[in-house]
Structures are given as C-alpha cells and as structure tokens.
Structure 1
Amino acid sequence: MTNQAPRYRQIADMLREQITNGTYKPGDSLPTEMELCAEHSISRHTAREALRILTDDHLIERRRGAGTIVSAPGAPAFAQPIGDFDSILQYARHTRFDVTVMQDADEDTLDRLGLTGNYRQYIGFRRVGDEQPQAITAVYVRSEYAPDKKTVETLPGSISEWLDGHHAITIDRVVQRMEAVALNKSQADRLGVEKGSPALRTVRRYRDAKGDIILFSESLHPAGRFAYEMRLDRAKG
C-alpha cells in the first residue's frame, strides 16, 4: 500500500500548511482555481476539490466578488467530516502526533479499555502546526506490530495505514464512539484549560478481518478546538 495522497489532497495540504504557518493570514486571498491550475499543472476539477476540502474545514471562505479568503479565527482549528473510512484517516493525515510517553500498557489500563493481549501504549498530543493541542491522545497497538516512537511521530498518514503497508494488516472495520465529558485537573492542565471544562472523548477500535482489535485510540478534545461534521442528503423520489 502507498501513502501517496490524491493530487487534490496534496494541494489542499500544501495550502493548509501555508495558512497554518502564516503565509496566508486571515482576510488574505488565496490563488484562484485557474491560478492553481497554472502553477501546479492540475485540472480545474482538482483545484476545486482542494479548495472544497479547505472550505469544509472552515479554513477558507469563498465569497462572491471577492474570491477565496482565509477565514478569521474563531471556528475550531480542525473540523472532521463523518462519513466513510477515508474521512476517519483524515485527522491523522492533517495533524501530527507528539508522543510524550511510550510504554507497554499495564493490565489495569487494558482492563479499563476492554483489551486482551499485549499492547504498546503511546500517549501524547495531536497538533495542527504550532497551534494549541487539538487533543490528548492515547494509542494502543498490538505489541508484535508496534512501531517505534520516531516512526509514529513522522508518519505522513495514519498508524493503520502504516500497519497495512509494513505488516500487510488490513483494517476491515472501525467502530467509533463519542461522548461529552468533563476534564479532570491533570487533563485540563495539560490542555491549558480550566478543570471541569467540557471535552469530546473519542474512542476508536480498529479490527482486522478476524475481528481482533489491532489498534485502539482514545482522544480528549477540549471545547472549541475540534468539531465533527456530518452531511445528510435528503433522499429524492
């Protein structure tokens, strides 16, 4: 398996980085579709899809008569659509995982999470550029497949994609659970918010064809830094 992203996603990621690092600031105009086509030798469709991704993530606004404008701060720094499996992978592709702890998961933790067997535990922060952390994240990988710390921190995609490419392990199903929680003091201190602040807890279980949990992740997103979006189209006919 290759981690080579589609061309439209590459262009979107490039523009996202330029917005994040301040090359384009709030209120600045982005290149037009035609300018993107000429500069990167891409089709109009590819340029349009790249801009659509950034629009869906609330990073840009497309205004009649003004073109494409970088959005002002205020919206969550990352908005993830809920849809197919590829949308699940989007978060890992567009953020980095700064690991602060890597160790074998203890029995109490595995019991709490409902995991059996041996797992390697990675704890750290998910970030977009130099922004405040999007989440405290803990990832658990079956020990026999676990990557080292440097690999995890430099992945261009998700750990599940890495497992597919390096161990030929295909994830057949992902079960995601989300719930609202209040942050305890330790969690709040690490995220720079007040104790008891609201957060979104996201748990994902990645299962292989046999139904075994190969990968497990648990994230705490403080309010205002992350959002999920779902598109619902009304059936016709």
Structure 2
Amino acid sequence: MRNTGTALWLSIASDLRDDLSEGRYGPGDKLPTEAQLAERFGVNRHTIRHALSALVEDGLVRTRRGAGVFVTARPTEYPIGKRVRFTENLLKAGRMPAKRTLSLEIRLATDGEARALGIALGDPVLAYHGLSLADGQPVALAESVFPLERLSGLEHALREADSVTLALKKIGVADYTRASTRVTAVLANATQALHLHLREGDPLLRTTSVNVDQDHLPVEYGRTWFAGDRVTLTLEA
C-alpha cells in the first residue's frame, strides 16, 4: 500500500517520472490513456489527471487534444545553409532519418513556381510531396517542384531513389546548393496536422527555398513545413 501521508497524485507522478527516466517511454511516445493509468494505479481519472498536470508543468510531457499525452520530444537541430541535406542533418543530430513519398505528379507551373525556377508560366514541372521522419516520428512535410524540361528522367529517378540528392545525381546534377531561404511561422491545416500527428492550428515553421546547380540554374523550388516543437532551425553562414 502507498504511504497515506503522501498525496496519491504525487506518488503517481513520481512513478511516471521513473518510467520516463528508465526509458519505458521515449521522446515522442504516447503514454497510456487516463483510463489505463487509473486501472494501473487503482485510482480515479481525476487523480491521474492531477498527476499528469504535474508532468506537463515540469515539461516532461505535453497533451494534444483528442490525441492523448506524449513524452516531450527533444527538438532536432536542423541547420539551414548552402548545403541542406535532410539525411546528413538528422544523422549529425543523432537521429535516425527516414522519408516517405506521398505523391509525384507532372503538372503545369504556377506563376510563383515559374519565377522561382526561371521558366515560363505553364511549363511542365514535377511536383514531389513527401513526409520526413526522425526516429520514426514525423517532423516535416515537403513539397519540391522541379523544372521537367531541364531535368529529363527525374520522375523515374525519384521513384527509384526516394531521395532528391540521389535522384539528381542519377540524371547528371552532381551537386546543388541553396540560393535562398525564407522562414515563416504558420499554423497547421487539417491535412498537415494529420500527417504530422498534430492538432489543426498547431504552430509550424515553413521554409521556402530555391536550389541551384553548379551553373547556378534553379533545379528545385521547395517548401517545407516543420513541426514547430520538434525542430530547431539554425541558420549557417
């Protein structure tokens, strides 16, 4: 039996802290539901809620309405410089990178895309949409637009490589660098929230960028939406 001189919620909060410190639940993991914890500790859900509130105040967990309680993930340091490579950035930060292709489509360039890529309005472009993960947790949604006539064979290369860097190398673009980057704070829409396991309206960091090849010709116009609490963007000279 528990020490009756200690408030039950304090004792439960202490036990849950032990669970976290011993690695039973890692960064980004979802804790059991209030009902499951109430059954485990033999108390009512109000007591569990009180204990979880203490962990929230300590910054150990965060709640997501309708989703549950999650262990606070350590934000990933993500450098933004002339050479931005997702896999390299994540590995340097000690995280395991992964990417998932959501869609690939050929369509006509919009006005903004045409200006960014130095092509004519309505020229064909290849649009790539993907989800980036760190240690299995989604951290960013990306949209990359490529000038199709300038990059023949890219669609096939992307379907094979599932990596922009490798796909560009396959069609003869040995290297590319970042020509410009703009960072904006935005709120997640319903689709973004679904992919990133967030709530609609949660904060995102959006980067808008143009990458150029060794001849300084634009090869990629990209926008990336980072989960605001999972990534720390750092600007490199």
| SS at structure 1 position matched to 2:199 | coil
User: Larger radius of gyration, structure 1 or 2?
Assistant: 2
Q: Which residue of 1 aligns with 2:230?
A: 225
Give the one of 149, 153, 159 matched to 1:150: 159
Deviation string, structure 1 residues 14-71 (Cα, Å, up to 9, x no partner) = xxxxxxxxxxx69xxxxxxxxxxxxxxxxxxxxxxxxxxxxxxxxxxxxxxxxxxxxx
| SS at structure 1 position matched to 2:73 | coil
Of residues 117-126 and 159-168 in structure 1, the stretch that sits farther from structure 2 once superposed is: 159-168
| SS at structure 2 position matched to 1:75 | coil
The Cα shift of 1:99 comes to 0.7
The Cα shift of 1:181 comes to 0.9
- Distance 1:84-1:169 versus aligned 2 partners, 3 A rule: closer
Q: Distance in 1 between matches of 2:111 and 2:168?
A: 24
Q: Which residue of 2 aligns with 1:130?
A: 136
- Calculate the TM-score normalised by the size of structure 2: 0.54
Unmatched 5+ stretches in structure 2: 1-22, 25-70, 91-96
Q: Which residue of 2 aligns with 1:111?
A: 111
Paired residue type of 1:186: T
Paired residue type of 2:198: V
The Cα shift of 1:84 comes to 5.0
Verify the 8 A CA contact 2:104 2:129 in the aligned structure 1.
yes
Verify the 8 A CA contact 2:82 2:179 in the aligned structure 1.
no
Q: Which residue of 2 aligns with 1:202?
A: 207
The Cα shift of 1:98 comes to 0.6
Percent identity between the two aligned chains: 17
Unmatched 5+ stretches in structure 1: 1-24, 27-71, 233-237
Q: Which residue of 2 aligns with 1:81?
A: 79
Q: Which residue of 2 aligns with 1:99?
A: 101
The Cα shift of 1:138 comes to 1.0
Q: Distance in 1 between matches of 2:198 and 2:178?
A: 34
The Cα shift of 1:130 comes to 1.9
| SS at structure 2 position matched to 1:134 | strand
- Structure 2 counterparts to residues 38-49 of structure 1, below 5 A: none
The Cα shift of 1:198 comes to 1.0
- Calculate the TM-score normalised by the size of structure 1: 0.54
How much is the aligned-residue C-alpha RMSD, in angstroms?
3.2
Q: Which residue of 2 aligns with 1:7?
A: none
Q: Distance in 2 between matches of 1:145 and 1:225?
A: 35
- Distance 1:125-1:163 versus aligned 2 partners, 3 A rule: same
- Distance 1:230-1:101 versus aligned 2 partners, 3 A rule: closer
Q: Distance in 1 between matches of 2:161 and 2:232?
A: 24
Deviation string, structure 1 residues 151-205 (Cα, Å, up to 9, x no partner) = 242x4xxx24542454145425532211111122222233222222110001221
Q: Which residue of 1 aligns with 2:5?
A: none
- Distance 1:164-1:184 versus aligned 2 partners, 3 A rule: same
Paired residue type of 2:74: A
Give the one of 175, 179, 188 matched to 1:174: 179
